[in-house]
Amino acid sequence: MDLRLYDTLTKEKRPFVPLDAGNVRMYACGPTVYDFAHIGNGRAAIVFDVLFRVLRHRYGADQVTYVRNITDVDDKINVRAARDYPGVPLNEAIRKVTEETYQQYQDDVTALGCLAPTVQPRATEHIPEMRAIIEKLVAGGFAYVAEDHVLFSPQAMNEANSVMPRYGALSKRSLDEMIAGARVDVAPYKRDNTDFVLWKPSKPGEPSWPSPSGIEVEGRPGWHIECSAMAWKHLGEKFDIHGGGIDLVFPHHENELAQTCCAFHSDRMANVWMHNGFLQIESEKMSKSLGNFFTIRELLADWPGEVLRLSMLKTHYRSPLDWTAKGVEESAKTLDDWYAIAADAVATEPSSAMIEALYDDLNTALAMAVLHGLRNAAASGGARERGEFAASLRLLGFLSMSAAEWKGRKQQASGIDAQHVDRLIADRAAARARKDFKESDRIRDELAAMGVAIKDSKDKDGKPVTTWEIA
């Protein structure tokens, strides 16, 4: 069975052939650590986690290297540090902000069921690699120094007679149109308005490092060069898959590709470019001004991570995702059902129909349909069907708890004290035994008011038993 992936660069879905099946290498752009991640960031983390899991399934858990970077140098970080830690030296404040935010992000995406990537490099720990790439670009005539900045020239890239792709190929933009359409109030040190920053001088108090290319004042990197450097360090000059949200295609990925290909005189940076679609909320663009901006952390206060994860996977990763409260509630009900059927089963092998769906460009929407079929087979079948269903769910990152833990978490979240409920049910049983139906009805109503639904039945010896669940 072929694994087929859609490549943004060539706009085609084709069989995935790793450069080295013993070490399949993927890179996904990670967070800029200055604030809580929003659920759009959560979508990207989950999509590339599913890809990581699928590659591990196909090639072996130790044969896949997944790099997700951390951008810990950025203007937004500096602003946040100055605001949150007044009076603390800026560099120390920046470290506090990036450490805190990085930990929050880790905790959030772990709660969403994402495996830890193999490497999570920090930009500030890769300054020598950035300087080395910048030096190569200047030496090759693709970049130049102006007023203590180093700028990359897309024009120079496109004029070079070489194996490198054309600038604009990834985002399907024409450089001539970009030049014509660019704003006029462009920085005076740029030769062309499309030139972008590889390195710039630091302002007083900002983080700074020795500059490349003979620049005497200290400076700091531009955003795009960070990823070229980290990918090179951990995955080499060429690797298999580069991913991120669709909003990163231009300019970030276009520029990463340009830098890496020009530095190494290479025809490609990654064999496959993968991008997940936008996420909107109740059919509207998510924005702070519309008041519909959700962080992962806020949603985790109301829902377990697996509910959020399932809500993401119901839509194909390349399609826009419409996040709705109703959809999340449905996911919660689905997971209650799946947990009851499969959480305590001994997982065997995931179903081949589900693997087939995932191998078709991570078609998780189709995988969901397969899972519903497996669920029905498991509900009416035996250990074999339940084992296959459980293994299929686990491959996608579900069933991280036992059935009892899942139920207990829900009771805890709802504020219901299980012991108190059990006591009331025992009191009600005693009332029924002495035929005090007024009292037993009163207790049933009290439980209903707490949000507890009870069900009376008989055990195999014919004795009455009462079970309960959160309504």
Binding-site residues for ATP: 288
The nearer residue to Zn ion, 29 or 33, going by C-beta atoms, is 29
The nearer residue to Zn ion, 260 or 334, going by C-beta atoms, is 260
Q: Residue 70 interacts with Zn ion (CB under 5 A)?
A: no
Shortest Cβ 53–Zn ion spacing (Å): 22
> Dihedral, CA atoms, 328, 329, 335, 338, nearest 10 degrees?
-130
* Cα–Cα distance for residue pair 169/9, rounded to 1 Å: 7
Q: Which stretch binds Zn ion (CB under 5 A): 28-36, 199-207, 260-268, 414-422?
A: 28-36
Shortest Cβ 55–Zn ion spacing (Å): 19
Q: Residue 257 interacts with Zn ion (CB under 5 A)?
A: no
75 contact partners, CB below 8 Å, separation of at least 6 = none
What is the SS3 assignment for 232-270? HHHHCCCEEEEEEEHHHHHHHHHHHHHHHHHHHCCCCCE
Binding mask 413-442 for Zn ion (x = CB under 5 A): ------------------------------
Shortest Cβ 445–Zn ion spacing (Å): 58
Check if the beta carbon of residue 64 is closer than 8 Å to that of residue 58: no
* Cα–Cα distance for residue pair 386/382, rounded to 1 Å: 6
Shortest Cβ 47–Zn ion spacing (Å): 15
Q: Residue 390 interacts with Zn ion (CB under 5 A)?
A: no
Shortest Cβ 40–Zn ion spacing (Å): 16
Q: Which residues make up each annotated binding site for Zn(2+)?
A: 29, 227, 252, 256
The nearer residue to Zn ion, 29 or 354, going by C-beta atoms, is 29
HSE-up of residue 70 (Cα within 13 Å, Cβ side)? 24
Check if the beta carbon of residue 273 is closer than 8 Å to that of residue 8: yes
Shortest Cβ 4–Zn ion spacing (Å): 25
* Cα–Cα distance for residue pair 136/103, rounded to 1 Å: 35
The nearer residue to Zn ion, 84 or 247, going by C-beta atoms, is 247
Shortest Cβ 146–Zn ion spacing (Å): 24
The DSSP output letter for 471 is -
The nearer residue to Zn ion, 274 or 443, going by C-beta atoms, is 274
Check if the beta carbon of residue 137 is closer than 8 Å to that of residue 262: yes
Q: Give the phi and the psi of residue 430 in degrees, each rounded to 5.
A: -65, -40
The nearer residue to Zn ion, 94 or 227, going by C-beta atoms, is 227
Shortest Cβ 303–Zn ion spacing (Å): 29
Provide the edge-to-edge strand list for the sheet that holds 149-152. 143-146, 149-152, 196-201, 219-221
Shortest Cβ 252–Zn ion spacing (Å): 5
* Cα–Cα distance for residue pair 64/55, rounded to 1 Å: 7
Q: Which residues make up each annotated binding site?
A: 29, 227, 252, 256, 288
Check if the beta carbon of residue 144 is closer than 8 Å to that of residue 138: yes
The nearer residue to Zn ion, 93 or 227, going by C-beta atoms, is 227
**Residue in the structure block whose two tokens are 């967070």:** 31
The nearer residue to Zn ion, 200 or 224, going by C-beta atoms, is 224
The nearer residue to Zn ion, 170 or 357, going by C-beta atoms, is 170
* Cα–Cα distance for residue pair 235/312, rounded to 1 Å: 28
Size of the site for Zn ion (CB under 5 A): 2
List the interface residues with Zn ion, window 181-200 (CB under 5 A): none
330 by Cβ neighbours in 10 Å (0-12 / 13-18 / 19+) ranks as middle
Q: Which stretch binds Zn ion (CB under 5 A): 22-30, 106-114, 271-279, 328-336?
A: 22-30
Estimate to the nearest angstrom the gap between the alpha carbon of 97 and the chain centroid.
21
Check if the beta carbon of residue 285 is closer than 8 Å to that of residue 325: no
- In this structure, the strands spanning 219-221 and 239-245 are unpaired
The nearer residue to Zn ion, 227 or 443, going by C-beta atoms, is 227
354 by Cβ neighbours in 10 Å (0-12 / 13-18 / 19+) ranks as buried
Shortest Cβ 364–Zn ion spacing (Å): 24
The DSSP output letter for 314 is T
Q: Which stretch binds Zn ion (CB under 5 A): 27-35, 199-207, 327-335, 390-398?
A: 27-35
List the interface residues with Zn ion, window 218-237 (CB under 5 A): 227
Q: Residue 29 interacts with Zn ion (CB under 5 A)?
A: yes
Name the site residues for Zn ion (rule: CB under 5 A): 29, 227
